[in-house]
């Protein structure tokens, strides 16, 4: 290991830890979100150093970008409705006693230190599953090992992950339905022009990422996130306004990925094959089909998660139960 890189790793790791702590401790809420975004991007950089570019891309796009957008939107909402329940002082009905706070900190420290000691004290790991993956790659139908794990070897996990996303949008629509229309955050006219210019480019990048996922880093989730970023721009610039009439279509798009994925998983079974076992020679086609439809669902769902509220409901449905 060459010296400058070692120094780089050390500084980057220290920065990640320091900014994580700073994000929680900083007083201003907006600064908290900015620090969080910096933290996320530095973590992604660290993951690139650990030879995980696909994961770094996902963390930057979804874990940091979209999460940051969600946090900003929520902050905007809370500030638009008065600050009560937001600023640290006002939020706490009863401030945490110093003794409890230090007890918590001590407890956490003990847990982390204990874990560190226990791990260092044990023999270091054996090889993981890379050999098994390498042996199965020719049969997987794709060339990128991460894509092969996501959509073939552990496709069941990935289906369930899409289901988690579906569950989230159902919960969000359920919680915020009937909430009166909040002042939507919006960008000025200059940004509208900017968005008009960049949207086509971003769309092309999203589609490319999806296609590239079969060989190079990229894939459904990063592609979906990229397309969702376009959705966010459309919402923020007001180029697209959700309308109650669009709800049925939106529901169909939310479930598209889940239904297609689960249907393929069940339909390929039979003739000695288990569920999720793609027939010989059809793996690539089926994976691309699933990936394409899942990407659409992911993009629409992520956009809807950002929008939050179900598009203004009909009058009779607006009332909340007492």
Partner 1 sequence: MTGPDWLTLSIMLPLFGAVAAFILPRAAAGLGLATVAATTLCVLMMADRVAAFGAVTVPLGGWGAPLGIELRADGLSVAMLALTGMVGLLVSVSAIDAFAGDRTARQRHYFWPLWLLLLSGLNGVYLGTDLFNLYVMIEIIALAAVGLTVLGGTREALRAGLDYVYASILGALLFLLGVGLIYLQLGRLDFAGVIAAPPSAAMTAALAVMFVGLALKTALFPLHVWLPAAHANAAAPASALLSGLVVKGALYIVLRLAGYMPALTEDILTLIGLMGAGAVIWGGIQALRADRLKLLVAWSTVAQIGLIFVALARAGERGLSDSWKAAALLILAHGIAKAAMFLAAGRIKDEVGHDRIRDLDRSPIRPTLAQVTFALAAINLIGLPPSLGFIGKWQLMEGAMMAGYWHWVAITMIGTLFSVAYFSRVLAGFLRFDRVRGGPLAEHHGWSGADAAPLILAGAAVLLGLAAGPIIAFIDLGAGGAMP
Partner 2 sequence: MTPDLIYGAAGLAVFGIGLWGAIALQDRMRRLLGLKLCSVGAGFVLIVGAWREPPAAPDPVPHALVITGIVVMLSATAAALALIRRLHDLEAADDRA
Query: How many angstroms separate the CA atoms of 235 and 198, rounded?
Result: 14
- CA angle 93/180/251 to nearest 5° reads 110
Contact 109, 17 (CB under 8 A): no
> Any contact of residue 128 with partner 1 (CB under 8 A)?
yes
For the segment 209-248, give every residue that binds partner 1 (CB under 8 A): 248
Q: Which of 23, 143, 29 is nearest to 79 (CA)?
A: 29
Could you tell me the two tokens for 314? 């009909």
Among 27, 94, 98, 125, binds partner 1 (CB under 8 A): 125
For the segment 272-311, give every residue that binds partner 1 (CB under 8 A): 273-278
For the segment 82-111, give every residue that binds partner 1 (CB under 8 A): 111
Select 153 or 221, whichever has its Cβ closest to partner 1. Answer: 153
Select 76 or 154, whichever has its Cβ closest to partner 1. Answer: 154
Among 46, 133, 212, 216, binds partner 1 (CB under 8 A): 133
Query: How many angstroms separate the CA atoms of 155 and 149, rounded?
Result: 7
Residues sharing a CB contact under 8 Å with residue 282, sequence separation 6 or more, in sequence order = 141
Q: What is the nearest approach in angstroms of partner 2 to the Cβ of residue 121?
A: 14
3-state helix, strand, coil in the chain (%, to 5): 75, 0, 25
Q: What is the largest CA-CA distance in the chain?
A: 68
Select 5 or 132, whichever has its Cβ closest to partner 1. Answer: 132
Select 12 or 194, whichever has its Cβ closest to partner 2. Answer: 12
Select 91 or 252, whichever has its Cβ closest to partner 2. Answer: 91
Q: Which one of partner 1, partner 2, none interacts with residue 136, CB within 5 to 8 A by kind?
A: partner 1
Cα torsion 193, 194, 195, 198 to 10°: value is: 130
> Any contact of residue 249 with partner 1 (CB under 8 A)?
no
Q: Which one of partner 1, partner 2, none interacts with residue 205, CB within 5 to 8 A by kind?
A: none
Among 82, 89, 97, 121, binds partner 1 (CB under 8 A): 121
Q: Which of 280, 253, 266, 251 is nearest to 156 (CA)?
A: 266
Q: What is the nearest approach in angstroms of partner 1 to the Cβ of residue 114?
A: 7
> Any contact of residue 152 with partner 1 (CB under 8 A)?
yes
Q: What is the nearest approach in angstroms of partner 2 to the Cβ of residue 60?
A: 10
Q: Which one of partner 2, partner 1, none interacts with residue 80, CB within 5 to 8 A by kind?
A: none
Among 24, 269, 282, 285, binds partner 1 (CB under 8 A): 269
Query: How many angstroms separate the CA atoms of 157 and 167, rounded?
Result: 15
Contact 133, 121 (CB under 8 A): no
Please spell the DSSP secondary structure of 228-284, one letter per residue.
HHHHHHHHHHTSS---GGGHHHHHHHHHHHHHHHHHHHHHT-BTTBPTT-PPTTTHH
Residue 143 is classified by DSSP as S
> Any contact of residue 115 with partner 1 (CB under 8 A)?
yes
Residues sharing a CB contact under 8 Å with residue 200, sequence separation 6 or more, in sequence order = none
Q: What is the nearest approach in angstroms of partner 1 to the Cβ of residue 212?
A: 23
Q: What is the nearest approach in angstroms of partner 2 to the Cβ of residue 280?
A: 22
Among 28, 87, 215, 317, binds partner 1 (CB under 8 A): 317
Select 123 or 188, whichever has its Cβ closest to partner 1. Answer: 123
């Amino acid at each position: 290991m060459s010296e400058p890189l070692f120094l780089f790793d050390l500084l980057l790791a220290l920065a990640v830890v320091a900014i994580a702590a700073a994000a929680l401790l900083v007083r201003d809420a907006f600064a908290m979100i900015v620090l969080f975004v910096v933290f996320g991007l530095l973590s992604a950089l660290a993951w690139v150093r650990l030879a995980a570019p696909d994961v770094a891309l996902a963390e930057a796009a979804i874990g940091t970008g979209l999460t940051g957008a969600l946090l900003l939107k929520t902050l905007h909402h809370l500030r638009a409705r008065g600050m009560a329940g937001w600023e640290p002082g006002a939020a706490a009905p009863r401030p945490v006693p110093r003794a409890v706070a230090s007890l918590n900190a001590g407890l956490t420290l003990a847990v982390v230190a204990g874990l560190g000691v226990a791990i260092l004290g044990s023999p270091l790991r054996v090889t993981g599953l890379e050999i098994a993956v390498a042996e199965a790659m020719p049969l997987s139908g794709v060339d990128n090992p991460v894509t092969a794990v996501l959509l073939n070897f552990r496709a069941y996990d990935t289906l369930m992950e899409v289901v988690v996303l579906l569950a989230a949008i159902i919960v969000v629509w359920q919680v915020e339905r009937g909430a009166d229309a909040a002042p939507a955050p919006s960008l000025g006219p200059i940004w509208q022009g900017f968005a008009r210019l960049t949207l086509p480019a971003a769309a092309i990048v999203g589609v490319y990422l999806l296609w590239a996922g079969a060989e190079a880093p990229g894939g459904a989730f990063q592609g979906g996130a990229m397309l969702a970023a376009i959705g966010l721009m459309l919402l923020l610039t007001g180029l697209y306004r959700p309308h109650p009439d669009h709800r049925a279509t939106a529901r169909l798009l939310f479930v598209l990925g889940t239904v297609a994925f689960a249907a393929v998983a069940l339909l390929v079974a039979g003739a000695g094959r288990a569920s999720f076992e793609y027939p010989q020679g059809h793996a690539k086609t089926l994976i691309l089909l699933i990936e394409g439809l899942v990407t659409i669902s992911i993009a629409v769902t992520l956009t809807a998660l950002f929008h939050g509220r179900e598009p203004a409901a009909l009058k009779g449905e607006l009332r909340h139960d007492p």
